[in-house]
Structure 1
Amino acid sequence: MPLEELRALLARHVRPDWTTAIDGVLVSKVDRPDPPAPSMSGTVLAVIAQGAKRLALGDRVYEYGPGQYLVASVDLPVTGQFIQAGPEHPALGFGLTLEPSAVAELLLQAGPGQTSRGAGAPSGIAVSDASPALLDAVVRLLRLLDEPRDRAVLAPLIKREILWRLITGEQGATVRQLGLADSSLSHVSRAVRWIREHFAEPFRVEDVARMSGMSVSAFYRNFQAVTAMSPIQFQKQIRLQEARLLLATHPGDVTGVGQRVGYDNPSQFSREYRRRFGAPPSRDAARLRDAARGPAGVLDPVRAP
């Protein structure tokens, strides 16, 4: 069974930093559930071989387990939590970074039939059952970790096959738009990137819509469809996640951290931080220091997304 072999390959090749000898491929193993943790999704395919994960994006909640996959076509602020993981049955996952250029190349080769546009932007995150063909391709890619002589030649070919299975699969609309330069998703991605790079600055939604090449009404509608948030809510998520990272290294400067991420009002910063992370900045900073004494956390195909 492909899923059984996938579990064995993932368990055998997991490393402390989750990387592999194949560029863009991650494997992970997590042996305990943990509290909800914020992170950025990246643009990825994540396949669960064992265990289960719950992921929240705005007011949307996604769950995926053995034999299911998640695709994230935009780098979004998410909160993830294991709901099934333990020492005897750890969560095991495969991840593949999705490159827009690789998707675009496949779409050009396939012709106009694979580049049709829907009525609007799809959600930036989606979950589906993995087809036997997709699981088989993932297994064959991981087998190359045991075959260094064949890896350089065959890994790019199997990555293309995996992309093709996604493009022609149930969540093909989400993946296809990743490679279309003039798609609604690409316009929203441009706005997401700008907000992430300028998160500490105030902005007018009208200006970001114009920069993205969309009318204000279309921008609002498509941004909400992709991110499950308004542009202002999205900026707030990015600000608070950045603040949490800064507090890990500057725990005694709560006011300064708040100002660096764009909050002029310390009480507003503390209030919104507590609402997001469940504790005021100073207390959460102490918790982060304690956690930092353990193994360092990283993004991976089970942990994020």
Structure 2
Amino acid sequence: MALDELRDLLDRHARPGQLTAIEDVLISKVDRTGPPVPAMSGAVLAVVAQGAKRIALGDRVYDYGAGQYLVASVDLPITGQFTRASPDRPALGFGLILRPDAIAEVLPHAPAESTGTPSGLVVSDTPPELLDAVVRLLRLIERPRDIPVLAPLIKKEILWRLVTGEQGAAVRQLGLADSSLTHIARAVQWIRDHYAHAFQVDELARLAGMSASAFHRHFQAVTATSPIQFQKLIRLQQARLLLAAGPADITGVSRSVGYDSLSQFSREYRRQFGAPPSQDAARLAADQTAKNSIMSSRVGL
């Protein structure tokens, strides 16, 4: 079966850092479960071959396991944890970074786009045609001479299977320059780039080319949060990344991510991560595995 071969290929070629010899192709192998880890999703296709994972986006929770795939069409602040993984049966996943320009190339031949703004995360069962293409792409790792010619063709096939599949609306909108999802992605990127600065929602709405009411509605549909809540999640995740990376200067970190009040920062940090920043920083310093998870986590993998 294709899923059995996918497990074997992923297990054989998994390396630290998840990178492979094929551009934009990632492989994950995790041999234990753990607590939820905050991360930015990136735009990615993730196919699970073994094990299971849970992703939380705002108040939405996505559970997916072997034989299922997840698409993240916008770079979102999420938390993820493996719910099935062990040394004898590690969680194994394939990832493909989604490039809007590559998706745009297949859109002229795709069905007409559905109306509405899709969620930034979607999960479905992996159809046999998509699974077969993923397996053929991974086989190229063992035939490096074929990668420059065949990898782009198989990647294009995978994108075609996505845009014509059950969750095609989310992937199609990623490739459209004037889609509502693309406009929201532009606002999301602005918040990520300027997370430490205050902003007016009306300004973001203008950046997205929408009225304030339409912007709120579409932003909530894609991200499951309000723009202000989204900014707070970005600030807190960045703060935790800084605390994991070096000595814990709590006051300096809080200011660098945009907080004027240390007490407010500590309160919101504890609410988000379950411990005040000083305790969390000490735990991360003592637990190298947890620290590495914070520094390198990817959403679907």
1:173 maps to 2:166: no
Give 1:296 shift: 3.2
Aligned length: 300
Give 1:246 shift: 1.3
Compute the TM-score of the two structures, normalised by the length of structure 2: 0.96
1:148 maps to 2:151: no
Give the partner amino acid of 1:147.
Answer: R
Instruction: State how far apart, in whole Å, the 1-side matches of 2:205 and 2:50 are.
Output: 41
Q: Identity, % of aligned pairs?
A: 67
Unaligned 5+ segments in structure 1 are none
Instruction: State how far apart, in whole Å, the 2-side matches of 1:52 and 1:293 are.
Output: 20
Instruction: State how far apart, in whole Å, the 1-side matches of 2:141 and 2:249 are.
Output: 45
Give 1:299 shift: 4.3
Give the partner amino acid of 1:62.
Answer: Y
Give the partner amino acid of 2:28.
Answer: S
The C-alpha deviation readout for 1:36-56, integer Å capped at 9, x for no partner, is 000001100000000000000
1:114 maps to 2:114: no
Task: Note closer, same or farther for the CA distance 1:295–1:230 as it changes in structure 2 (3 Å cut).
Answer: closer
Unaligned 5+ segments in structure 2 are none
Instruction: State how far apart, in whole Å, the 1-side matches of 2:297 and 2:229 are.
Output: 25
The C-alpha deviation readout for 1:255-281, integer Å capped at 9, x for no partner, is 111111111011100000000000000
Task: Note closer, same or farther for the CA distance 1:293–1:46 as it changes in structure 2 (3 Å cut).
Answer: closer
Give 1:87 shift: 1.0
Instruction: State how far apart, in whole Å, the 1-side matches of 2:166 and 2:225 are.
Output: 24
Corresponding position of 1:284: 280
The C-alpha deviation readout for 1:101-159, integer Å capped at 9, x for no partner, is 00111113x1xx534241x2100000000000000000000000111121111000000
Instruction: State how far apart, in whole Å, the 2-side matches of 1:70 and 1:76 are.
Output: 13
Q: Which 4+ stretches in 1 moved above 6 angstroms? A: none
Instruction: State how far apart, in whole Å, the 1-side matches of 2:79 and 2:122 are.
Output: 15
Corresponding position of 1:70: 70
Corresponding position of 1:199: 195
What RMSD over aligned residues (CA atoms) do the two structures have, in Å?
Answer: 1.5
Corresponding position of 1:266: 262
Task: Note closer, same or farther for the CA distance 1:177–1:224 as it changes in structure 2 (3 Å cut).
Answer: same
The C-alpha deviation readout for 1:47-69, integer Å capped at 9, x for no partner, is 00000000000000001000000
Asked if the contact 1:115–1:176 (Cα under 8 Å) also holds between the matched residues in 2, the reply is no
Instruction: State how far apart, in whole Å, the 1-side matches of 2:182 and 2:137 are.
Output: 28
What secondary structure, in the 3-state scheme, does the structure 2 residue paired with 1:114 have?
A: coil
Asked if the contact 2:284–2:291 (Cα under 8 Å) also holds between the matched residues in 1, the reply is no
Compute the TM-score of the two structures, normalised by the length of structure 1: 0.95
Asked if the contact 1:40–1:304 (Cα under 8 Å) also holds between the matched residues in 2, the reply is no
Give 1:304 shift: 4.2
Instruction: State how far apart, in whole Å, the 2-side matches of 1:280 and 1:251 are.
Output: 15
